[in-house]
Amino acid sequence: MESILKPLDLLEEQAGAGTGTWLPCSGPRLSAVSPIDGRQIGAIRSAGRGDCNAVISRAVEAFKTWRTLPAPRRGEIVRQIGDALRLRKKELGALVSLETGKIRAEGEAEVQEMIDIADFALGQSRMLYGLSMHSERPDHRMYEQWHPLGPVGVITAFNFPVAVWSWNALIALVAGDTVIWKPSSKAALTAIAVMKIVWPVLRRNNLPEGILSLLAGGRDAVGDPLINDQRVPLISATGSVRMGRHVARTVAARLGRSLLELGGNNAIIVTPSADIELAVRAILFGAVGTAGQRCTTTRRLIVHADIYERIAAELLNVYRQIKIGNPLEEGVLMGPLIDTDATAALQAALVQVKDQGGRVLYGGTVLSGGLYDAGTYVTPCICEARADMPIVQAETFAPLLYLIKYETIEEAVACHNAVPQGLSSAVFTRDIRESEFFLSTRGSDCGIANVNIGTSGAEIGGAFGGEKETGGGRESGSDAWKVYMRRQTCTVNWSSELPLAQGISFTLG
């Protein structure tokens, strides 16, 4: 543990609030506990309400300077942030694993995602395009441009403790905004480590404090004051649907903007023409990766009746081969759940499966003995279910996969769409009619729709997000940068006349 924490300067108690330097925080002590073995790996003095106000005030002041830098210059600084993260990829990736239970490969991949976003944002800094439009009035020019918005609040969840921050923060930086990060209290140590890596880059560029800030603390002291503050025009929040509803109501009440990335109840449809081997590999990672704790985790498998028994048999075979254990060890494919509450939620879901007429085909066991005594290790679970079961409509944040039969592609898509969430989706087929139907307006109702790849592992170049209870937000690629800026329509009259739009005449006499 020390070999991970020492290079990142995390051995002592850490402050939970800072703007470039750390503040003497006034909140309660927060323990950082590893789900790997239940041990405390660090301590954080969390932020209080006064710290929250100080951080926001500094972000407001820093915005006055940051917004005036040319966008390509802002991009160059983000490039340097990416380089700083590159130098600490191994250590930071190990910390992600230590604090959240991800296997080492996934922890390092998450840091790589931050680096990739920095590269992407560098290019985006030269492509903050507006439009030129033809005016209906003679000798007039009309166009639109995009300006920095202001301080942006970014609230992240434990399952992607650094990548989701980077999707927001690095794009917001090139857009000219300052960023205030409220990480999950279950992964605050990783957030502190990131700030310690990136703040020196800002200092070397002689930039003011407050461009990138951190607020680690609870809802009452930090969360609610942040989302209620009029000085923060945009709140980007990733987490549960319940949390998203609270953020949306609060921010809307002050007529602010919210970008929400909430629950997922993602499904894969497997048709008779599918490449079964390819599908099984994708299902395995989609359902078991990150111990089922991704918003894009595959939770429902909708399989044609003709191949149902074969798919079930192949999945049972590969599930029995999954090595479960310390995620920092070589060969382990599944680490622990984040805490014992997550274990209890899985057990409660399995009771409901049985009560509602479903059947557990494999897994769901809470492991014990040695490392497993932490109470966070479970065997990944496969259940036979019906699409109309209430438990299937809900998101259980654990490695729980429901198998559902279908007869026609229309029935499969209707089953797929019959849940409140709408994040990620996939179909495995070699039939172009099936794939095109799935991608059509009559097909998947999700923000992400894939053919012959799984629901997990979205690329940064596309806009990430979903519909319905997933919140409607979009982050990362495509034109997601626009949410972090304010649009302005400009009209220039270069004539000596004053014609009005729509032919209106407004003259005296």
330 is catalytic: no
The rounded distance, in Å, linking the Cα atoms of 127 and 143 is: 16
Instruction: Provide long-range contacts, Cβ within 8 A and 24+ apart, for 462-466.
Output: 464/167, 464/261, 465/261, 465/423, 466/261, 466/262, 466/264, 466/421, 466/422, 466/423, 466/424
CB 402 within 8 A of CB 392: yes
For 352, the token pair is 């409901």
DSSP state of 136: S
Beta strands in 162-314 (DSSP E): 179-182, 212-215, 234-238, 257-261, 266-270, 298-304
Q: Give me the residue label for tokens 């909708």.
A: 302
**3-class secondary structure for 1-42?**
CHHHHHHHCCCCCEECEECCCECCCCCCEEEEECCCCCCEEE
Q: Give me the residue label for tokens 């087929």.
A: 429
CB 489 within 8 A of CB 142: yes
The rounded distance, in Å, linking the Cα atoms of 131 and 128 is: 10
CB 89 within 8 A of CB 111: yes
What is the per-residue DSSP string for 162-174?
Answer: THHHHHHHHHHHH
- Work out whether the CA dihedral 451, 452, 455, 460 comes out positive or negative: negative
CB 218 within 8 A of CB 46: yes
DSSP state of 398: S
| C-alpha pair distances (Å), 238 with each of 163, 168, 345, 375 | 11, 11, 20, 26
Candidate list 25, 52, 295, 383, residue with the active-site label: 295
Candidate list 106, 113, 209, 261, residue with the active-site label: 261
For 81, the token pair is 């942030």
The rounded distance, in Å, linking the Cα atoms of 269 and 417 is: 11
The rounded distance, in Å, linking the Cα atoms of 263 and 86 is: 31
- Work out whether the CA dihedral 186, 246, 399, 444 comes out positive or negative: negative
Q: Angle at which helices 163-174 and 104-124 pack, to 10 degrees?
A: 10
Calculate Rg over the CA atoms of the chain: 25
**Roughly how many angstroms between the first and final C-alpha of the chain, as a whole number?**
85
2 is catalytic: no
Could you list the active site residues?
261, 295
